[in-house]
Structure 1
């Protein structure tokens, strides 16, 4: 994420701007001209001196202690995903990134065998940058982005078909960016080129990325418009595949006996 060399400060600033001052216990007698908490208000609520907190947010102190991070996270009301992201920015992993790009793109034979057996399910494997590496034929039939050679985030923001495929495009876009930012923090430098490309070609992506939201969703429901079928409502589960490659398996399915299930079976 080379476009911003003070990720920790930018994230803290974006979070304090989202905190309601009154609910945080700040009593004011004049009309506020800033969103959320002021820098000095956050510092005092977290038990820090305003000058020291300013050093953190301005990037002059990039390694605050665990106790300070915990205090800030509590005042900012960060959820588990946001706390993990904060930790990754302040205490980045010392583990080297995967050196062999081909290894990152190679799906294990056992996983490929499972995909061959799951002909009745839309299922696919993605790498850390959301490149689709392998998938079932049904996955590609349901969504063109779910076929090998496509990138889920590029499709969402740069392919005109995306707004047709995703009836709830705004929500999908927000989740895609927040999820990508979470992964980028866990794998420093690995996704910089992809982020730079998307920032250059999509103003919407750039705006969402700069909001510093993070998100990790392992299950849920998604609506997809399928040619010749209409809108399908499918559930999904995700499975992180153990190993340095960072692969994730997505499996979609319909509620048994539902019209969506019947329509999905008709695509096989």
Structure 2
């Protein structure tokens, strides 16, 4: 099981191992026994002493300065999301303490009313661990993982239907874990139990989590196989809801006038596809 007491060092090591030495001008005619850059190579490129960088990676110095973080991010070629993640590990927030006692599963009445306005689109609300807390009936019809009471990460890795629902399952799985890691960094300790459970239940999840990839997709496009319809191509946007609960709303929509648009309309026009009302989880659940 991954140790959580040195996430900064683990992340730096994972990024260091992905940098090709030749790409940063290091010529080494010997047979390299390590992946990517050696510690001392990264240190010199970042303008640090090898011994000091070693202390950081080993967890013996967990508060490097902003200048040092910027130098490491530059050499490691971190993107914006990875840089934010690096900062969150080096300068832990106080959010986890502030979140104590917050009824994170309770969706505000106003948000539920807003979902009613979007009954003709797949839309749903998730908590930090990706539990689906509320959603339109259409969301559950398009993807069983989007129905209240389900967890999107658990569905992706533990439900055999996921490989049918997601034609590009490998990419979806990678995105799910990378996004969860980004959330975990901002809500210190809150998701530790969930992550530990997933690591025990899924070898694939464990391998992806240990790769330390981190990024968030706030918008994009996804292909989903829907029973009786075929593959739908839907765009999506996400909306972070204000408040300490960490709720996020996902709204999926087709390209207007496309075959996907027509297929989605058939769900709302055919009474046999069920009601358009929203459904919410039992909010008394802990």
TM-score class, shorter-chain normalisation, is over 0.9
> What does residue 85 of structure 1 align with?
85
Q: Distance in 1 between matches of 2:144 and 2:154?
A: 12
Inter-partner Cα distance in structure 1 for 2:88 and 2:225 = 37
- Answer yes or no: is the 8 Å Cα contact 2:132–2:150 preserved in 1: yes
Q: If the length of structure 2 is used for normalisation, what is the TM-score?
A: 0.91
What's the counterpart of residue 101 of structure 2?
A: 100
Q: Write out the 4+ residue segments of structure 1 that deviate beyond 4 Å after TM superposition.
A: none
Quote the offset at 1:5 in angstroms.
1.3
| Matched residue, 2:198 | 198
Q: Is residue 127 of structure 2 the alignment partner of residue 118 of structure 1?
A: no
Distance 1:86 1:153 in 2: 23
CA deviations 1:126-153 (Å, max 9, x no partner) are: 0111010110000000001101101110
Q: Distance in 1 between matches of 2:212 and 2:98?
A: 23
Aligned partners of 1:192, 1:125: CA distance in 2, in Å? 21
Q: Which residue of 1 aligns with 2:16?
A: 16
SS in 1 for 2:8: helix
State the match for 1:159 in structure 2. Answer: 159
Q: Root-mean-square deviation (CA), in Å?
A: 1.2
Tell me if structure 2 keeps the 8 A contact 1:127–1:133: yes
Post-superposition offset of 1:30: 2.5
Counterparts of 1:117 and 1:46, CA distance in 2: 52
Aligned counterparts of 2:114 and 2:2: Cα–Cα separation in 1: 38
The normalised TM-score by structure 1 is: 0.97
Equivalence map 1:210-229=2 (5 Å):
210-229=210-229
Cα distance in structure 2, aligned partners of 1:41 and 1:162: 42
Give yes or no for the alignment of 1:170 onto 2:173.
Answer: no
Q: 1: distance between equivalents of 2:15 and 2:183?
A: 19
> SS where residue 236 of structure 1 aligns?
strand
Q: How many Å apart are 1:119 and its aligned residue?
A: 1.3
Structure 2 stretches of 5 or more lacking a match? Answer: 269-286
Please name the residue that 2:264 is paired with.
264
Q: Is the 8 A contact 1:97 1:187 kept in 2?
A: no
Task: Number of aligned residue pairs: give it.
Answer: 267
SS of 1:235's partner is strand
Structure 1: unaligned runs, 5 residues or longer: none
Query: 2:69 & 2:171 partners in 1: Cα distance?
Result: 30
How big is the shift at 1:33? 2.5
Q: Is the CA contact 2:122–2:136 (under 8 Å) kept in the aligned structure 1? A: yes
Task: Describe the SS at the equivalent of 2:208.
Answer: helix
Q: 1:17 to 1:2 in 2, by over 3 A?
A: closer
Is the 1:120–1:138 contact (alpha carbons within 8 Å) kept by the matching residues of 2? yes
Residue 138 of structure 2 is matched in structure 1 by 138
1:234 is matched with 234
Q: C-alpha offsets along residues 24-65 of structure 1, whole Å, 9 cap, x if unaligned?
A: 121222232321111100000000000110001011111111
Q: Deviations over 1:80-117 (max 9, x none)?
A: 1000000111110023241225x211111111001112
CA distance in 2, matches of 1:237, 1:138: 16
Task: State the match for 1:52 in structure 2.
Answer: 52
Deviation of the 1:2 alpha carbon: 7.3
